[in-house]
Structure 1
Amino acid sequence: MRKHNFNPGPATIPTEVLAEAAQGLLEYQRTGMSIAEMSHRAPEIMALVEEASALVKSLYGFGDDFEVIWMQGGASAQLAIAPMNLLDKQHAVAIVNTGYWATKAIKAARELGQVEVLASSEATKFDHIPKEWNVPSNAQYFHLVSNETIDGTQWHQYPELSVPLVADMTSDFLTRPIPQEKFGLIFASAQKNFGITGTTCVVIRKDFLSQRTPRQIPTIFDYQTHINEQSLYHTAPTFSIYVALLALRWTQAQGGLHEMERRNAAKAKLLYTEIDRNPLFVGNVKTTDRSLMNACFQITKPELEVAFLEFAAQNDVVGIKGFPTVGGFRASMYNAMPLESVQLLVDLMRDFAKRH
C-alpha cells in the first residue's frame, strides 16, 4: 500500500506516471532498449525533449517569444547561472528576502554582482512577504522566489514592476496560470510538481536575454548555448526529462493549470482550516501569505511533537517533519497529492488533539 507522502521533494508522483516511467525504463516504445540506454541524440530522445518543451509552453500559454530549455544542477545552480547570464556590472539584482531560498539567491548573486535587498521578513522568522518597498533605478531585474518551500510563504499576486521578474518557481511551477508578460525568466527543478530529480526547466523570454550586456560566461553555463542546441549540448538527463514529460502529459490530461489551481486551493483550505480550528496546532505564516504548496505549522505543546510524528507514521502519513531550521511540521501538497491524503492528515490531527 502506498504511503501518504507529504515530503517536500522528491515528492509524490502520480501512480500512472510511475507505471509508464517504469515500463520505459525496461523498454522504451518497443525499441529493444531502456530509455536510460539510449543516446541523448537518438531521434526518440530528441522528440520527447521537443514535446516536453512544447507542453510547458502550451500549459502556460507562452508564445514564440519564449524559449524552453532543460538543464542540470537544480534550482541551486540557477541561482548563480541566472545572474551570470543576465546581470551586468552597472546594474543590480533587486530582491525581497522572503525566506531560505531568497537568502540563498542573495548570496549567489552577490558573488557575481550588485544586489539590492529591498525588504526582509527575517526578523519575524519569515512569517510574511513584505509589501512596502521600491525598486531602485539601477535594478536590472527583480529576483522572486514565488513559493518558499521551507518557510511556507507564497506570492499570491506578482508585483507590478518596471523591470522583468526572474522567478525561482521550483515549488509551484505548473500549479496555476501566471501573468506571463511580467516574467523575463523562470526556472524550476522537477522534483516537486513534474517529475524526479535531475533536470531543471528554464523558460526564457527572448528579448530579455538579447538585451543582456555581454560578459565572459563559460559556454556550458550560457543559456544561449542550450537554446541553440535544443537542450542537447551535452549528455542530457534523459530519464529525468522523460518522467517530466509524462508528468506534463498528466497535468494536461487532468485539466491543465486552472484545474491544478482549483485542486491545490481546496487542499490548502482543508488543512489550514484545521490548523486554525485545532487548539493543538498553530500556523507559522500570516494568512494572507500562506503557501498553498507547503503548509508550515507548529504544535502548541512542543513535548508532543515527536509523538504526533510517530502517530502520523503509524497511519501511513510520512514526510511532515519541518525543516531543521524551522522545526514543527510541514505538509507539502503538490499537484499529485490527492485530496484524500490531506483529509487523512486532518483526521489524524483531530484524533490526536482529542487524545491529548
Structure 2
Amino acid sequence: MKNVFNFSAGPAMLPYEVMAQAKEEFLNWRDSGCSVMEVSHRGKDFIDVAAQAERDLRDLLNVPDNYHVLFTHGGGRGQFAAVPLNLSSQDQSSLHLVSGSWSEGAVSEAQKYNKPVVVGNVSEKDGKQFVEKPAFDASWSEAAYYHFCPNETVDGIEFTWLPEAGDVPLVADMSSTILSRPLNVSDYGVIYAGAQKNIGPSGLSVVIVREDLVGNARQETPSIFDYSLLAGSDSMYNTPPTFSWYLAGLVFKWLKAQGGLEVIDKRNDEKATLLYTEIDNSDFYQSQVHPANRSRMNVPFQLAQPDLDSVFLKKAEEAGLMALKGHRSVGGMRASIYNAMPVEGVVALVEFMQEFERTHG
C-alpha cells in the first residue's frame, strides 16, 4: 500500500491504530461472526460500546455530571438548526460572533428560527485577518444564547479566548477543534461537533449540553434534534450511525492511550509551529491570517506565484501528500493537521515545500 499523508479538512484521516483495529474486527466483531455494523443498536453488546464511548469522552474532556453527552445525526449544519430550536423562541435574539464561513452559516440558519444579531466579525490587523474580542453590551443580556466557532476550517482562523457573554449561554461549534486541547466544559452551555475531523468518520455529531438547557424545544422541533428526547433515550431514539459511533469510541481510547489531551495539545503545537515557521521564513509562501488567530488545525497558505498552484498540488500528490488544495472559496493551499496527523507528516510537507521552492522559486 502506498504510504501517504492525508491533509484533508474532512472527512479527515483517522489514527492508523484505530483503522488497523477496525480492519481486524470488521468481519468478526467480538467473535460474533458478523460486523459491528450488522448488530442491533439496542443489543447489549452495542449498548456497552456506546456507553463506554461516552465515558471515555467524558474522561477526556472532564465533562461535569450536569451535562448530557448526545451522539446525533445531522453534522454541524444540523446543529445550526437544532440549537435555535432547542434554546430559543421565534421572538428571541441570538448573538453571533462571525469569524469565518461556518459561523456565518450558523447565522443564516438561525434567521429561520429567531432573530440573530451579529456582535463581532473578522477585521484586519497588520494587513492580516484578525478577530477582536467584542466587549459585552448590556443590551445583549436577554438573548437566548451566544454562538461562536473557535476554529474556522475554511478560513484557518482560531482564537482561544472566550467571548464575554454575561449570563447568556455560550454555544460553541467545535467541529474542527474539539479534543485538540483541554477545555473547561463548564464555561459553555452547549458544545457541538461534527465527527469527521477529530472524532471519527462523517455521519455522527456529538453534542454536550447543560441540563438546564434541555427540555425547552419548540413543538415543531424534529424529534431527532430534540435534546430532551435524545438525552432520555441515551441517544437511541432512532437508529444511530452505529459504525461511526463505534469508530469514535476507538478514537477516544486512542487519545487516552496517547496520554490524554495535554499530550495531544503539545503535539498539535509542535506540528503547527513547524508549518508556520516554514511559511514565515519564506517569501515564496504566505499566510493571510494574523499570527494571533492562526489555526493549529487548518493552515491555509498561498504561493507568491499563484500560477504554480496546480504544479504544487500535482507534485505534492506524487510525493504522497494528499488533499492540499484550498477551499474553493479561498483558493491556494490548505493543510489540515488534526490529531491523527503525525508529526512525521508535517515534516514531510515542510521538506516538500522547501524542495519545491528551491526548484520553482
Identity, % of aligned pairs? 37
CA distance in 2, matches of 1:213, 1:316: 48
CA distance in 2, matches of 1:219, 1:66: 20
Q: Which deviations, in whole Å up to 9, do the C-alpha atoms of 1:230-265 show, x marking residues without a partner? A: 011111111110000000000011011111111001
Report if the CA contact (8 A) 2:71-2:205 is conserved: yes
Report if the CA contact (8 A) 1:97-1:122 is conserved: no
2:120 aligned with 1:116, yes or no? no
Q: CA deviation at 1:308?
A: 1.0
Partner of 2:190: 185
Within the candidate set 305, 320, 324, 1:320 is matched to 324
Report if the CA contact (8 A) 1:106-1:115 is conserved: yes
Report if the CA contact (8 A) 2:85-2:217 is conserved: no
Partner of 1:80: 81
Q: Which deviations, in whole Å up to 9, do the C-alpha atoms of 1:67-123 show, x marking residues without a partner? A: 111111111111101111011234211011111101110001111011010122278
Report if the CA contact (8 A) 2:135-2:164 is conserved: no
Within the candidate set 161, 169, 179, 1:174 is matched to 179
Q: CA deviation at 1:24?
A: 2.7
* Structure 1, unpaired ranges of 5+: none
Report if the CA contact (8 A) 1:119-1:133 is conserved: no
CA distance in 1, matches of 2:219, 2:240: 26
Report if the CA contact (8 A) 1:93-1:114 is conserved: yes
Q: Map of 1:282-293 to 2, 5 A cutoff?
A: 282-293=286-297
Q: Which deviations, in whole Å up to 9, do the C-alpha atoms of 1:130-182 show, x marking residues without a partner? A: 32443423322110112100000012222232122111100011111112221
CA distance in 2, matches of 1:201, 1:342: 28
* Structure 2, unpaired ranges of 5+: none
Partner of 1:246: 250
Partner of 1:204: 209
CA distance in 2, matches of 1:213, 1:244: 27
Report if the CA contact (8 A) 1:118-1:133 is conserved: no
2:92 aligned with 1:66, yes or no? no
**Matched residue SS, 1:345:** helix
CA distance in 2, matches of 1:292, 1:121: 18
Within the candidate set 228, 233, 250, 1:229 is matched to 233
Partner of 1:130: 132
Shift in CA distance, 213/45, structure 1 to aligned 2, threshold 3 Å: closer
Within the candidate set 352, 356, 360, 1:352 is matched to 356
**Matched residue SS, 2:157:** coil
CA distance in 2, matches of 1:274, 1:123: 23
Report if the CA contact (8 A) 1:168-1:186 is conserved: yes
Q: CA deviation at 1:310?
A: 1.3
Letter in 1 for 2:203: G
Alignment length, in residue pairs? 355
CA distance in 2, matches of 1:314, 1:340: 17
Alignment RMSD, CA only?
A: 1.7
Q: CA deviation at 1:285?
A: 0.6
Shift in CA distance, 316/43, structure 1 to aligned 2, threshold 3 Å: same
Letter in 2 for 1:193: N
2:69 aligned with 1:54, yes or no? no
Report if the CA contact (8 A) 1:144-1:166 is conserved: yes
**Matched residue SS, 1:134:** coil
CA distance in 2, matches of 1:16, 1:43: 26
CA distance in 2, matches of 1:126, 1:40: 49
